[in-house]
Structure 1
Amino acid sequence: MKVICVAGYKNSGKTTLVTRLVEALSEHGKVGTVKQMLHHRFNPENTDTGKHFDAGADLVAAITDTELVTIKRNPSLEDALNSLADNGADFAIVEGAKSSDLPKIFLGEPEGSDEVSNILVKLPVKSDWDIAAIVELMHDQPEWVTLDSLIMKVRSNPDLCLSGGIATFTGIVRRINDNVETTAIDFEKYEGVADRAIEKICFDMKQKDNIIDVLIHHKTGLIKSGEDIVYIVVAAAHRQELFQTLADTLEHIKEDVPIWKKEYTIEGDFWVHDKL
């Protein structure tokens, strides 16, 4: 899923630009949007869902003839984007969130007191924007990947009819290692080379008998203990090949992909010499 943020100040035309982008991107795939509404409530206290929520429900699903809305506690922008990816969105447009690290289209000029990062392009407010150019910019953004989005991609493979199962592996940051507590790990990859190595592993694994599909996603940057590092999804005709290929794929990632890690522990920080 490609993600971009449309940011700016009040009455700058953010919603207009988002709607135009939705219309244009809908010709290229499935589009999701996120709107930050920090001072609103979707389920007021006088509604049934509001009463459920105020009674202590952690999740409330509201269903109408045309809509499904899930209301949860402790929301985050990451949760919203993960939900869109999990539901098969090819593109996600976030309206607002100018303080986030997401790649941004900024309408107007940031004020001096605001620290706005990752601005890809600044556009005039309420203008006749070049939507085609923005769509092209959207296609250039990195992928936002979740495990469910990879599984959905495997399920869309026309050869899945030959598969008897899908297996996944999720690697996470181990919190306790040799009785030492790890708080986070910072992963760095050899740009370009690491991606090509992952593509080769997927290709090689799919040459094995009865293997239908293999997908890998390895995250980079600072990942906290307990959080996900790597996803592997394998579809195969039979369980024997399925589990063996899953294990083989993980070993090839560890051996062949140039990704290095710096480990942060309560006893100090250090670079791990192994690639993974």
Structure 2
Amino acid sequence: MEYATSRHRRRRAGGVADRLADRLAERGRVGVVRAGDPDVPDRTTYTVGDGWTGAGPDADVDDVLDDLARDHDYALLVGFPDARVPQIAVGDAAVEDPALRVDPDDPDLDAAVEAVEAADPFETLSSLVAALKRSPRADYAGAIATFTGRVRALEDDEDEWTESLTFEKYEAVAAERTAAIREELEARDGVLDVRLHHRVGRVDAGEDIVFVAVLAGHRREAFEAVEDGIDRLKEEVPIFKKEVTVEGEFWKHEQ
């Protein structure tokens, strides 16, 4: 009975996801990622905007999201309650603190679209580099330089092990200041396009936190803009982090 109930809930969630995907397809390219059948564990299926479907036992949801982020505007996950994305709970699905809960028979798709649009964008280094390569000014570029900041577990051999960092930011102010940094970097001679992204929420040890990617005519301009970009992000954008170590936890400013 547990198995049958689980499959029934997944079908209901899948139906809502399909209807939401149709609505989002009016705004951009959509990828739908589905957890595998319980009889075939660890199998992920995903469908891209042109109808192509793929599946594999070794597919990891983060890897699939990384692939989709390069050339999709939206991705919907069905059956991944622990994924690091905002959750839309269908009916009485056991989802902790969902962004939205909808009726499976009469879902409020307008509210679901609003919840998707309000979510922090899912970006990876690959998706940002792909965006730079699609830049209208890419024909003038001879270099792409990047920086990736990650959660460091240890400072030295005597340090306490850091399990995770949790990031929060003043959304409106952070967005305004990040946009100003990008605009000023792009105004430099030789810099053609810039992408900046800082994750929010919990980030575990070894995972990526922040990305800076620069498209430039030559490597020197690219390297200098990347260095200045990450320095200014840390100094000017109001981001706070909670560090969780094996001994306890504490908040501090990102700088």
Match of 2:18 in 1: 19
Q: 1: distance between equivalents of 2:239 and 2:227? A: 19
**1:132 Cα deviation after fit:** 5.3
1:200 is the counterpart of 2:180: yes
**Count of aligned positions:** 241
Q: 2: distance between equivalents of 1:102 and 1:143? A: 9
Gapped regions of structure 2 (runs ≥ 5):
1-5, 44-50
1:160 is the counterpart of 2:138: yes
**1:234 Cα deviation after fit:** 0.2
Within-5 A mapping of 1:42-191? 69=54, 71-73=56-58, 75-86=59-70, 88-98=71-81, 102-110=85-93, 114-123=94-103, 125-127=104-106, 131=109, 134-179=112-157, 180=159, 181-191=161-171
Give the greater-gyration-radius structure (CA): 1
TM-score between the two structures when normalised by the length of structure 1: 0.74
Q: 1: distance between equivalents of 2:154 and 2:126? A: 27
Gapped regions of structure 1 (runs ≥ 5):
1-6, 45-65
By relative contact order (CA 8 Å, sep 6+), the higher-ranking structure is: 1
Larger displacement relative to structure 2 (244-253 or 177-186): 177-186
Q: Percent identity?
A: 32
Match of 1:213 in 2: 193
Residue type of the alignment partner of 1:189: K
**Structure 1 counterpart of 2:241, from 253, 261, 268:** 261
Residues 187 and 221, structure 1, Cα contact 8 Å, conserved in 2: yes
Instruction: State the Cα deviation string for residues 175-200 of structure 1 (Å, max 9, x = none).
Output: 22143132222223233212221111
Report the CA distance shift for 1:40/1:79 in structure 2 as closer, same or farther (over 3 A): farther
TM-score between the two structures when normalised by the length of structure 2: 0.79
Larger helix share, 1 or 2: 2
Q: 2: distance between equivalents of 1:266 and 1:10? A: 37
